[in-house]
Amino acid sequence: MRRRIFLCCLLGLYVPAGLAQDFKLHAWLDGRLVAAPAETSWTHGGLGKTRFGGGGVDARFGGAGVVGTAQFTPALMALASVQWQDTDYATLDTIEAYLRYRPVSLSRWRWSLQAGAFLPPISLENDAIGWTSSWTLTPSAINSWVGEELRATGAEGRLEWRGDDASWELRSALFQRNDPAGNLLAVRGWSLSDLTYGLGSRLHEPDAVVRRNGGQPPGRYDPFQNIGHRSGWYANLDWRTSVGGRLSLMRYDNRADPAAHSDSGVFAWHTWFWSLGASADTGPIRWIAQAMDGATVIEPVDGLQFETRFRSAFLLAGWNRGAWRPALRIEHFSTRELAAAVGTGQGEHGNAVTAALNWRPRDWLRLSAEVLRIDSVRKQRVEAGLAPASAVTQVQLGVRLIY
């Protein structure tokens, strides 16, 4: 019962509407025309790294969502972001839902507390409604994975120092319900996909992996669940200058018990990483760079651990020309399984280039064109009867209506 009341509070449903003094609703609806690569997308059990696969040129549903906020008091706000997706299977899920308490401070220091389910503050790209990117349709490999498998359910404290030339912000959280995080990087590898998963959705494992483990595809799992009784944490230090520069450093560790598993056989993956991000403006050009380096470990049998190292980095240049915003991003990604862990070595490495052109002729309308090229090598493809090397191109024309 207590848990139900807590969840209702997070969604702003438990407090009668009359008590909240400010409600706001925002929404988006996204449609695409997609020229998809021939390889089956990971969202349909394949090993393709793009959101769409199977070849051909088709109209696709990009997604729809609603973001609601309620300002209960000047210091207390609730936010819930809900989306509808049908790329993998039709699902209505919650991207984020949290309460934030931020009292006013009449000094340079300000603190706040946030509780609920929220995304760790990793992405410097995903600054638009529904945790989308305002520069490209497809986020980088790093932020694709963040949207797929990372969600903190717990509490986050923030401490800010607001100077004349720069401001500092330290954020740290204790969280649960993210114990399977890392599984996807190990069994599938990186992806470049704007399919953000929410609470209540299920991630698709590659069919080849499901069959190898004796299962019958499709194999799906809930990445946002407790397995074992450990809490994870992250700490993020953010530095922003008044000239538009930003530097962000994070350490994340879900502290999952790699030997623990759920009744349905989903294992906890102990995942930790460093994340470094920077952004700066040179005239109308916005530069964004992020790097991530970490590992994830599973222990399916006592004393036998499989460890997968992962790393990725990208550099994005976006040209802010008012209504027109072209962007170009290059990136590298890799995973490596320790040789002692898996004899076949299922690691991967690859590069990607994304070129996008965005046009906002109206405040409520965004038109985008994007070309995404991915070159990668993954030995796991051999299991599915494919060549280990893959070079794919995905082209999208997108229309987004924003309320």
Partner 1 sequence: MRCLLVVASLLLGNAWPVLAAEVTVHLDDGRGHAVSDAVVMLIPDAAPAAAAAPPAPATHVVDQRDETFVPYVQLLRPGDEVVFRNSDSTRHHVYSFAAIRTFEFVLRPGESSPALVMDKSGIAAVGCNIHDHMITYLFVSAVPAIALSGGDGNATIGHLAPGRYTAHVWHPQLHPGHPQPSQSVTIGGDADIGHLDFTLSLMPDPRMFMDREHLDY
Residues that bind partner 1 (CB under 8 A): 21-22, 24, 26, 67, 69, 71, 74-75, 77, 79, 100, 102-108, 127-129, 134, 162, 164-165, 242-244, 281, 360, 363-364, 366, 402-403
**3-class DSSP state of 327:** strand
Quick one: 74 or 345, whose CB is closer to partner 1? Answer: 74
**Where do runs of H (alpha helix) occur along 112-165?**
141-149
Least separation, in Å, of the C-beta of 249 and partner 1?
Answer: 22
Q: Which is nearer to partner 1, 298 or 327 (CB)?
A: 327
Task: Identify which of residues 14 and 403 has a Cβ nearer to partner 1 in the complex.
Answer: 403
Closest distance of CB 149 from partner 1, Å: 23
Nearer to partner 1, 165 or 302 (CB): 165
| Closest approach of partner 1 to the CB of residue 303, in Å | 46
DSSP H stretches of helix in 29-172: 141-149
Neighbouring C-beta atoms of residue 89, cutoff 10 Å: 13
335-348 burial, b for 16+ CB within 10 Å, e for fewer?
bbbeeebeeeebbb
Q: How far is the CB of 7 from partner 1 (least distance, A)?
A: 20
Select 118 or 272, whichever has its Cβ closest to partner 1: 118
**First-last CA distance in the chain:** 35
* Residue 134 vs 308, nearer CB to partner 1: 134
Min CB(94)–partner 1 separation in Å: 15
CB 370 within 8 A of CB 136: yes
- Asked whether the bond before 218 is cis by omega within 30 degrees of 0, the reply is yes
Phi and psi (nearest 5°) for 17?
Answer: -55, -35
Phi, psi dihedral angles at 295 (to 5 degrees): -155, 160
CB of 75 to partner 1, least distance (A): 8
